[in-house]
Chain A
Amino acid sequence: MPKILDRARARVLDDGAGLDEAGILEVLQLPDEDLPELLQLAHEVRMKWCGPEVEVEGIVSLKTGGCPEDCHFCSQSGLFASPVRAVWLDIPSLVEAAKQTAATGATEFCIVAAVRGPDKRLMDQMRAGVQAIKEAVDIQVAASLGMLTQEQVDELAEMGVHRYNHNLETCRSYFPNVVTTHSWEERWSTLTMVRESGMEVCCGGILGMGETLEQRAEFAAQLAELDPHEVPLNFLSPRPGTPFGDRPVVEGRDALRAIAAFRLAMPRTILRYAGGREITLGDLGTRDGLLGGINAMIVGNYLTTLGRSATADLELLKDLKMPVKSLSATF
């Protein structure tokens, strides 16, 4: 067994402490022949420190497109020649989406808006939307509305939003290659306010944007330092018209190495499959990731792209004997 896996077994599996940046890098550099052993260890770590349950979530876009920011992977930026047009979802459709999500057995419903940060119109729409969902559907509501002020953090917590997503997207050293209209530190400061409010912190990013393996390790270590409740892991799905529209997709094996490495960096976090897994991993790879550190998934469609059918994913979980986390288990 490679030495790094021996070390990880003692430190992460036995003691529940995450690997440091150097260790994460060693894992990311393991040759293909060590991949099965790596995935097996990451799976054991997940089972020991998180358990067999899988947290299932649905997401929906409340306000799509027309964003003033320039995140180079994003089809919703108004600064690129992307075909995505600006559109708002009305409250009845939002509630319907929450109902459909709950019907899959999902316990999380995340409302997302393509904005730098919320304005009054969006906060009003959120308040009405969260209230309408809470009256009609038994599901926990999360939100992702960009950078927040302290007042907005307090307001969302008071509305009953239980978790807030704000991705760092990539490591600090690579961030200026991805976004120029705001800084990594600005994102970090929103995350700090969210943490202090008592809302759960959800923070992840996208792999395959041109970062080196060293930078991937740096990112995992920075996330571990933040210690979020949940880490959504996306693989770049190159969007037409965006600056990253012509980038190659992440190789399945590299994606699996990254999943295992992130699990070994953060043994207790909810590590969620988010966008891009369909093209990067396909059906077989999706299964391998669930047996290699992943313990949560977004089911159904994403914000501007489509996913596998929720039924296919739920059948896979059944097949793997991984129960869907229930609402009672989340309190």
Chain B
Amino acid sequence: MYCDRCGLAAAEGDHAACVTARQLEPPRYCADCRRRMKVQVVPTGWTATCVEHGERRG
């Protein structure tokens, strides 16, 4: 599993800053495979798509 903000292994290192930043950012990396996702932000939400693992929404 990977950090969806910085793309590094979630179990390694400190991602506290990533977690805080994610309150004001959509995810950029797929948590399953760490591919960069295609992310579309709209005024009321976002969608993030990994070619392999599909779409996430927020």
Contacts and interface: CB of A to CB of B under 8 A. Distances in A.
Given A83-B29, A307-B24, A301 B37 contact: no
Nearest to A238: B21
B9 interface: no
A97 B46 CA distance: 11
Given A84-B28, A278-B24, A303 B43 contact: no
A96 interface: yes
B24 to A, nearest CB: 5
A182 interface: no
A222 to B, nearest CB: 30
A206 to B, nearest CB: 16
**Max chain A CB contacts within 10 Å: which of B29, B40, B42?**
B42
**Max chain A CB contacts within 10 Å: which of B5, B37, B44, B45?**
B44
A100 B42 contact: yes
B55 interface: no
B25 interface: yes
Given A83-B28, A240-B6, A306-B46, A61 B36 contact: no
A58 B40 CA distance: 15
Contact of B36 (A58, A85, A237, A310): A85
B42 A279 contact: no
B41 A301 contact: yes
B42 A83 contact: no
Nearest to B58: A306
**Max chain A CB contacts within 10 Å: which of B25, B43, B46?**
B43
A60 B47 CA distance: 13
A300 interface: yes
B33 to A, nearest CB: 14
B-side interface size class:
20 to 34
Contact of B40 (A64, A100, A237, A279): A64
The SS class assigned to the B binding surface is: mixed
Contacts of A299: 43
A97 B28 contact: no
Interface in A49-78: 58-61, 64
Contacts of B42: 60, 89, 93, 96-97, 100, 301
B29 to A, nearest CB: 7
A189 interface: no
Contact of B41 (A61, A96, A240): A61
Contacts of B7: 83
Contacts of B37: 85
Interface string A199-229: 0000000000000000000000000000000
Interface string B15-46: 00000000111101100000011111111111
Given A301-B46, A305-B24, A310-B43, 13 more contacts: A61-B40, A64-B41, A85-B36, A93-B42, A100-B42, A100-B44, A240-B6, A300-B44, A301-B44, A304-B39, A306-B24, A307-B24, A310-B44
Interface of B: 5-7, 23-26, 28-29, 36-46
Lowest 4 A-B CB distances belong to which pairs? A300-B43, A83-B28, A58-B43, A97-B42
14 contacts: A60-B41, A83-B28, A83-B36, A84-B28, A87-B40, A96-B42, A97-B43, A104-B43, A300-B43, A302-B41, A304-B41, A305-B41, A306-B24, A306-B41
